[in-house]
A and B are shown apart, each in its own frame.
Chain A
Amino acid sequence: MAFSHKHIIGTQQLSREDIELILETAESFKEINQRDIKKVPTLRGKTIINLFYENSTRTRTSFELAGKRMSADTINISASGSSVTKGETLEDTAKNIEAMNADVIVMRHSCSGAPDYLAKRLTKSSVINAGDGAHEHPSQALLDLLTIKEHKGRIEGLTVAIIGDIARSRVARSDLYALKTMGATVRLAGPATMLPPGLEEMGAEVYTDINEAIKDADVVIMLRIQLEREGGNTLVPTLREYAQFFALNTENLKLAKPDAIVMHPGPLNRGVEISSYVADGSQNVILEQVENGVAVRMALLYLLAGGSDEE
């Protein structure tokens, strides 16, 4: 079964078959990450550029490792310390990278739609969205799905609660699209100021009480309170108040199914959205998510760069 996408902009554009293929491919790559010699020659001679206009440790490292473990050449460009600070436009930067025959450009940007803008203007390189503003973060959603599938054996029919700053979370949006496509029930919860309008139309159940959202859930995904954004535009009175009403702790976690798993895209704000007891508890699969992230990104790079360009 063929993979027909040239770019990965969001999970919104991915069909059920696409997602299944990505997850199966990732399962095959997982085995490599557990070997002594973590390298295969699959993408040798391919060039992957990580173009990051926003800070990132986990995602950038994960994409870099994914490329390197498949023998591709991976280069990191961050906005600070590059020609971006000299006033070059996004399109010019990307066209220059494309002129150096990059096969894949992995891009993170604070503006929603920036990767899509590039994908429409580049003729040769593939673009992978590694997070754009409050829009999408598809590789995070796919690694979430892989982690859920490994623990539950399926995705269809599960109830997944996503809790936190839904309004500014690209992870929530990508998770919502992908989980709905795969047939899961998605509950979104947070303070009313963090719940944008239109979520029901996207297929979610919306709650302002964390306890109702968690009740009988198979999976609880806690979102990070984005402290760096909280400074500029405050959506909650204080972090302490937020923690009081919306943190996941050992008490409210009991409302979920006994075998529920707890996920978090990281980095953790311990004591804000998640208590340390839960973050380190037996139900957490947070580090498995990180491990699966490398395999999922290997799958995406393979599916985009492992074929020829002829159309």
Chain B
Amino acid sequence: MGSKEKVILDKQAIDRAVTRITHEILEKNKGYDNLVLIGIRSGGDHLAALIREKINEIEGGQVPHGAVDVTMYRDDVGQGVVRPLGKTEIPFALDNRHVILVDEVIYTGRTIRAAMDALMDIGRPSSIQLAVLVDRGHRELPIRADYVGRNVPSARDENIQVSFDEAHQPLEVRLIKP
């Protein structure tokens, strides 16, 4: 095909970015008390697991983590083909917790809107903060991330992909030009 690919974050760069995000989360929330990590399927849940590991390394404590699938809350259900559903797994109450919502890439903001609606249907968190590995711009809703791994200015016809290995560890972030 005529498409060009460029690696914008390799394994080490991703690891450093996630480590920094983890420190920022701990700094802003003054520790991990009352925190929960919720990853957006699929990809965000793997990153949430990675942040959880790093919190454990840094502060020596286990933060509950879950995954949310936003397909049922998308604003384009009924347009195009039916999307397969993933599972939402949040085996703890969200009420009065600080939720760190984790996704790979923030783009239009519509996925995050759907995820926030999904969380609100499950409980009433004290706050929701957003952590993303890549912010590629082009927001269509008034939504911003609290923790960003890398800002990557991109064109709308480009695509950004985060790949993971079989153990769900992030491998690299690629920018794909049409």
Interface residues of A (CB under 8 A from B): 1-3, 21, 24-25, 27-29, 31-32, 35, 37, 39-43, 45-46, 70, 302-303, 305-308
Contacts of B80 in A (CB 8 A): 307-308
Give the Cβ gap from B80 to chain A, nearest Cβ, in Å.
Answer: 6
Whether A25 lies near B73 (C-beta < 8 A) is no
Whether B82 lies near A24 (C-beta < 8 A) is no
Give the Cβ gap from B38 to chain A, nearest Cβ, in Å.
Answer: 14
Whether B77 lies near A43 (C-beta < 8 A) is yes
Contacts of A37 in B (CB 8 A): 121-122
Residues from 120 to 157 in B contacting A, C-beta threshold 8 Å: 121-122
Known: A35-B121, A40-B73, A41-B73. A308 touches B86 (CB 8 A): no
Give the Cβ gap from A236 to chain B, nearest Cβ, in Å.
Answer: 44
Whether B82 lies near A28 (C-beta < 8 A) is no
A-contact 0/1 string along B87-124, CB 8 Å cutoff: 11100000000000000000000000000011001100
Whether B73 lies near A42 (C-beta < 8 A) is yes
Contacts of B117 in A (CB 8 A): 41
Most buried by B among A29, A70, A308: A308
A-contact 0/1 string along B70-86, CB 8 Å cutoff: 00110001111111111
Whether B78 lies near A28 (C-beta < 8 A) is no
Complex: how many Å from CA A1 to CA B78?
Answer: 16
Residue of B nearest to A46 (CB): B78
* 15 pairs from A and B in contact (CB 8 Å cutoff): A1-B84, A2-B81, A2-B82, A25-B84, A28-B69, A28-B85, A28-B87, A28-B88, A40-B72, A40-B118, A43-B77, A70-B72, A306-B82, A308-B78, A308-B80
Interface residues of B (CB under 8 A from A): 69, 72-73, 77-89, 117-118, 121-122
Whether B72 lies near A42 (C-beta < 8 A) is yes
Whether B85 lies near A24 (C-beta < 8 A) is yes
Contacts of A305 in B (CB 8 A): 78
Give the Cβ gap from B6 to chain A, nearest Cβ, in Å.
Answer: 30
Whether B121 lies near A21 (C-beta < 8 A) is no
Complex: how many Å from CA A196 to CA B84?
Answer: 39
Give the Cβ gap from A73 to chain B, nearest Cβ, in Å.
Answer: 14
Whether A302 lies near B85 (C-beta < 8 A) is yes
Complex: how many Å from CA A29 to CA B88?
Answer: 9
Give the Cβ gap from B152 to chain A, nearest Cβ, in Å.
Answer: 31
Residue of A nearest to B114 (CB): A41
Known: A41-B117, A308-B79. A31 touches B87 (CB 8 A): yes
Residue of A nearest to B123 (CB): A36
Closest 3 A-B residue pairs measured CB to CB?
A307-B82, A28-B85, A42-B72
Contacts of B79 in A (CB 8 A): 308
Residue of A nearest to B80 (CB): A308
Whether B121 lies near A40 (C-beta < 8 A) is yes
Whether B81 lies near A29 (C-beta < 8 A) is no
Complex: how many Å from CA A46 to CA B79?
Answer: 13
Complex: how many Å from CA A302 to CA B69?
Answer: 15
Complex: how many Å from CA A1 to CA B85?
Answer: 11
